[in-house]
Amino acid sequence: MAESCSTPRAETPAGAAANAELRSVLMPTSPDGPPAGDLYRNALARLATILFFPRQTFQSIRSHPTIAVPIAAWALAGALLNVVSTPRIDWDAVIRANIQSLSLSMPEAEIQRHIADASRYGIESTVMSTLISMPLGYLIMGAALWVALGLLGKLTDLKTAVSVMVHSQAPQAAAMLLSIPVVLRVDKIGPELVRTGSYLPSNLAAVFGTSAGGPLLQTLLTSVDLFSVWSAILLAFGLVTAMGLRARQSAQVVVMLWASWVTVKALLTVLNLLAGGRA
């Protein structure tokens, strides 16, 4: 009786080498395997792989850190959101609400001047502010991470620390891009939406409402955001994968940085309240 299938042929050395090369491209990294392939070393590709393949991306960052591309990409995402959202802001309502929340006494003529200036220079000022403040903020955050690692006795180079920090902020950039279609469906952006700190219902301020508590409580509520938590988890994972920290050390660093960030926001809110004459 004839054989129904042929016997598998032995793989030639040339074929084995070709298959090994193909596997290195399609599956470039395992947790304990060889360095990541070219896909994860590509600065542009990392903008996406950091969200879907964080282990491989952080392993690649460990030996090939990149900073300029992710900083520029996240800043452009923020600037694009400002281009879409700024023309829709009801400056009259927002400025009057801010003045009222700070209990400021201001002549109507001065209020009108602020409204006119915001309406005239809104897009230009917010876009320029974003393109300057976001890169500067990322560099400061990366430096803070580097200092925190040094305090734990984990010496590393500054570029790697900044790269890990910047790439961990990818969820924040995703939130900006996801906010654009939401903003496009809104005719006017009033003070209620501005106070939530996000155009997406992703933080506690959106859950409890902007009328819950005073400005200080609102600052704390806006600090607990779904995308911020995602970024914190991603940063903790990156510290373990790229920096070699233990999970407990990574959690300590992330909590310390998050607490510092919330404290700074709260202090700025208190200073604004004191400047407005409120205790």
**Half-sphere exposure at residue 206, Cβ-oriented, CA atoms within 13 angstroms:** 13
pLDDT for position 4:
44
pLDDT for position 14:
55
Tens of pLDDT, residue by residue, the chain (279 residues): 444 444 444 555 555 555 554 444 434 444 444 344 578 889 999 999 999 999 999 999 999 999 999 999 999 999 999 899 888 888 888 888 777 766 677 888 888 887 887 777 767 788 888 999 999 999 999 999 999 898 888 878 899 999 999 999 999 999 999 999 999 998 888 887 776 667 888 877 767 765 556 666 777 777 788 899 999 999 999 999 999 899 999 999 999 898 888 888 778 767 665 654 443
How many whole angstroms separate alpha carbon 209 and alpha carbon 195? 9
Nearest to 121 by CA among 93, 101, 91, 80: 91
Q: Dihedral of the CA atoms 247, 219, 268, 150 (nearest 10)?
A: 0
| Residues ≥6 apart with Cβ < 8 Å to 88 | 183, 186, 187, 188, 189
Nearest to 261 by CA among 181, 149, 145: 145
This prediction has a pTM of: 0.75
Question: Terminal CA-to-CA distance of the chain, rounded, Å?
Answer: 97
142-187 pLDDT, tens digit per residue, is 999 999 898 888 878 899 999 999 999 999 999 999 999 999 998 8
Nearest to 241 by CA among 93, 54, 23: 54
How many whole angstroms separate alpha carbon 254 and alpha carbon 239? 9
CA distances from 31 to 28, 60, 81, 186, 250 (A): 10, 11, 37, 45, 18
What Rg do the C-alpha atoms of the chain give, in angstroms? 24
pLDDT for position 26:
39
pLDDT for position 8:
43
CA distances from 190 to 92, 102, 177, 195, 211 (A): 9, 17, 20, 9, 14
The helix, strand and coil proportions of the chain, stated in percent and rounded to the nearest 5, come to: 75, 0, 25
The residues that bridge with 89 in the sheet, in sequence order, are: 189
Nearest to 98 by CA among 208, 220, 192: 192
The residues that bridge with 189 in the sheet, in sequence order, are: 89
Contact criterion met (CB below 8 Å) for 276 and 103: yes
pLDDT for position 176:
93
pLDDT for position 247:
92
Nearest to 176 by CA among 225, 123, 124, 210: 225
39-75 pLDDT, tens digit per residue, is 888 999 999 999 999 999 999 999 999 999 999 999 9
Please provide the average confidence, as pLDDT, over all residues in the chain.
80
How many whole angstroms separate alpha carbon 200 and alpha carbon 36? 35
Contact criterion met (CB below 8 Å) for 49 and 40: yes
Nearest to 25 by CA among 42, 8, 6: 42
pLDDT for position 138:
94
How many whole angstroms separate alpha carbon 27 and alpha carbon 33? 10
pLDDT for position 103:
65
